[in-house]
Amino acid sequence: MESGPAIFAGTAFALFGAALLLWTGVRVLHRAPVAHGVGTAASVTLTTLSGVVFLALGVWFFGRI
């Protein structure tokens, strides 16, 4: 019973983190702005860091099962 919420949270965090990293990578490869009105280096760094954190949280939740 207790593993259900952990599976849901792990899936949500892992999918969001992976999608954010993929989206950031595609934007950088196409030389498109990642965030409007923000410097390229800052926006790429922040979104990459956020994607890694969300992906790590998803893996952590799966490790708790």
Tens-digit pLDDT profile for residues 12-58:
999 999 999 999 999 999 999 988 889 999 999 999 999 999 999 99
Q: Is the pLDDT of residue 5 over 90?
A: no
pLDDT of residue 63: 86
4: pLDDT confidence band, cut at 50, 70 and 90? confident
Q: How many domains does the structure of the chain reveal?
A: 1
Q: What is the DSSP letter of 31?
A: T
Is this model's pTM higher than 0.95 or not?
Answer: no
- Domain span holding position 49: 3-63
pLDDT value at residue 1: 59
